[in-house]
Chain A
Amino acid sequence: MGSLPFFFTFAELEVGQHLYWQFGNLRIHGQVFLTSWIVIGALLALVVVGTKKMERDPQGVQNLLEFLWDYIRDLARTQIGEKVYRDWMPFIGTLFLFIFVSNWGGALVPWRLIHLPSGELGAPTADINTTVALALLVSLSYFYAGLSNKGLRYFEYYVHPTPIMLPFKIVEDFTKPLSLSFRLFGNILADELVVAVLVFLVPLVLPVPVMFLGLFTSAIQALIFATLAAYYIGEAVEEHH
């Protein structure tokens, strides 16, 4: 960039600046990888600690994990349906937990204390590449779910009420990942930007309620992503009569 330096001095935002890592012909955004590895490590540690000494009477971390399991099971069961929800529960749960911990990690951990040569650490979901990857995974999964459950009869879905719907349903296959990824990316980036601009304008007190609002929307966005992924999978495995 550099062509609009005014916007960068504004609250020291570093949108569009990345810590580049070069692997052969690939140029990847290093800061996103670092934070995602931290998020994945934190989640793994939580699960390992929670399942180490399991008791009949759950306490502490095990209790939390069982609560999460119940929550994700209810989400998957209402959207996907009684028959196949067990197959897709791990996927939905992973999506939900990864996005949720990424969003909250980006907002709660004081990443600014760690200085990078270029770019800055933050929520991995504030990078369009992460959200597009997650959304494409969802696309692949609902195709796989439909084809593996119903075989070629899956394509009946495209002409289901009437064949007039065919072009719309095909376009829908492209707009689904587009809206999924943009919704998550835009919301998280907007939260970070609003907080950064407010901190610049009024450094005291005023940004705190906005930060809480940001935490709230981040949690809702994680829930929405998981719900929509489950809904798309449920739509693909649904039997038409």
Chain B
Amino acid sequence: MDSIVTAASVVAAGLAVGLGAIGPGIGQGSAAQGAVEGIARQPEAEGKIRGTLLLSFAFMESLTIYGLVVALVLLFANPFAG
């Protein structure tokens, strides 16, 4: 394969995961903040809050995973690798 295509693919794969991690990182932070505040205000609701928190974490995480899928396609199944 063309070396410039290889270089561009590897850089793009890194960017795909790295940029894709920013948004979910902020989102998970504010979700955890809300959960901690909720537990501090109402410690008896901890179990319910934790379950909901983990479920919503998984939703946010899947956004980074979309970036990871793009990165994996670029590395292992690159459509531009002639």
> Beta-carbon contacts of A183-199 to B below 8 Å, as 1s and 0s?
10111011001000000
> Beta-carbon contacts of A168-179 to B below 8 Å, as 1s and 0s?
000000000001
CA distance A39 to B77 in the complex (A): 27
CA distance A187 to B6 in the complex (A): 25
- Contact between A182 and B69 (Cβ–Cβ < 8 Å)? yes
The contact size tier of chain A is 20 to 34
Chain B: how many interface residues by the 8 Å CB criterion?
Answer: 18
- Contact between A16 and B76 (Cβ–Cβ < 8 Å)? yes
- Contact between A186 and B76 (Cβ–Cβ < 8 Å)? no
CA distance A89 to B36 in the complex (A): 34
Which of A30-38, A133-141, A218-226 faces chain B?
A218-226
Assess whether B62 is interfacial by the CB under 8 Å rule.
yes
Majority SS at the chain A contact face: helix
CA distance A223 to B57 in the complex (A): 13
List, in ascending order, chain A residues with CB within 8 A of B62's CB: 179, 182-183, 186-187
CA distance A221 to B72 in the complex (A): 20
Chain A residues 182 to 240 lying within 8 A of chain B, measured CB to CB, are 182-183, 185-187, 189-190, 193, 217, 220-221, 223-224, 227
